[in-house]
Amino acid sequence: MGVAVLLKQVPDTTAKISVTGGRVDESSITKWSISPYDEYALENAIKLKESGYGDVVVITCGPARASKCLTEAAAVGADKLIHVVTESGSLDSIQIQALLSAAVKESSCDVVMCGKQAADTNSGSTGPGVASALGYSCVGAVTEVSIEGNVISATRLGPLGLEEVEVETPCVFTFDKGDTELRRPNVRGIMMAKKKPIDSLTSDDLGVDTSNSMVSVESHSSPPEKPPGQKFVGAESVPAVVNMLRNDANVI
């Protein structure tokens, strides 16, 4: 019993990203935050706990700086904090999923929640990958959950539209943004969170081999500058623009 929430720390959406020497300069990123969809996972996990379903265990995998997102989660109600300490950006999806799965096993949670994708790479590999690795069921793009016994009802955006589905635990849920309001920490929560211990684990502790990543970053670059656009004033310019869309850009 219990809910494990997988959190990823990413550059805040307002952060400026600069590239030097073919690499994104992480040291110049001034603000790191919990990836937005993960916040919805966390909020729904806390709601599940409030309805009587075990503790909320938050797990992050990342470098030293990432522990901050665990403390932020504790400030709004996470009970147990696990930091799987790794180097930034060097692992492939199989290794990350193996580390996270091992940490979930250690927590003995049978419900796992995370964002449907992280705001840095927008990949969305972790939820379904961890589900496969653990042999859990998986429901993606969820906006709400409720539990009765070991059956969880979830609202998800499936290929046919919004659906209500039922699934038994153990299960992984990946969250989309719904109508759920995110709670904000209060002063007491922030103070308590600072004192909450963080359980730091290495890949050795978890028995996962992280030596041979199958994926390596060759280079980073800034997106190509677009040539400055043309600007027109007034609705009378619409015919000229339509003409350009048709004859220069060939898109209509």
Partner 1 sequence: MSTTVISESSNNSLHPITAQLVGAASALGGSITIICPGGIGATDAAQISGVSKVISVEGGCFNTYDCIAWSESLSPLVKDDLILSSSSAMGRELISSIAATKGVPVVQDVTNLAEGLLVTRSIYSGKAIEEVRISSPCAISLRTNSFEAAGGGGSAEITTVNVSRDITVAVKQALTKAGERLDVSEADIIISGGRGMGEPSNFSHLYEVADALGAAVGASRAAVDTWDDIPHSMQVGQTGKTVTPNLYIAVGISGAIQHLAGMRSSKYILAINKDPEAPIFSVADYGIVATWEEALPVLKDQLSEILSS
By CB under 6 A, is residue 237 in contact with ligand FAD?
no
Site string for ligand FAD, 32-51 (x = CB under 6 A): ----x---------------
What residues have CB less than 8 Å from 44, skipping those under 6 apart? Answer: 113, 142, 144, 145, 173, 175, 180
Stretch that binds partner 1, among 48-56, 106-114, 191-199, 237-245 (CB under 8 A): 237-245
55 CB burial (10 A radius; 0-12, 13-18, 19+):
middle
Q: Which of 187, 249 has the CB closer to partner 1?
A: 249
Q: Which of 27, 221 has the CB closer to partner 1?
A: 221
**Residues in a beta bridge with 83:** 60, 200
**Token pair listed for 145:** 């959950």
Please name the residue that has the structure tokens 């153990």: 170
Of 84, 140, 175, 201, the one binding partner 1 (CB under 8 A) is 140
By CB under 8 A, is residue 24 in contact with partner 1?
yes
Element (H, E) at 9: strand 9-11
By CB under 8 A, is residue 161 in contact with partner 1?
yes
Site string for partner 1, 71-110 (x = CB under 8 A): ---------------------xxx--x-------------
The least CB distance from residue 46 to partner 1, in Å, is 20
Asked if residue 112 lies in contact with residue 3, where contact means CB atoms within 8 angstroms, the answer is: yes
Of 2, 11, 62, 77, the one binding partner 1 (CB under 8 A) is 11
By CB under 8 A, is residue 127 in contact with partner 1?
yes
Which of the listed partners (partner 1, ligand FAD, none) does 163 bind, with a CB threshold of 5 to 8 Å by partner kind? partner 1
Residue whose C-alpha is closest to residue 182's, from 39, 34, 38:
39
Residue whose C-alpha is closest to residue 57's, from 128, 116, 109:
109
The least CB distance from residue 208 to partner 1, in Å, is 13
What is the rounded distance in angstroms from the CA atom of residue 101 to the CA atom of residue 91?
15
Site string for partner 1, 187-226 (x = CB under 8 A): ---------------------------xxxxxxxxxx--x
By CB under 8 A, is residue 129 in contact with partner 1?
yes
Of 56, 103, 139, 193, the one binding partner 1 (CB under 8 A) is 139
Q: What are phi and psi of 109, to 5 degrees?
A: -80, 140
The least CB distance from residue 12 to ligand FAD, in Å, is 9
What residues have CB less than 8 Å from 239, skipping those under 6 apart? Answer: none
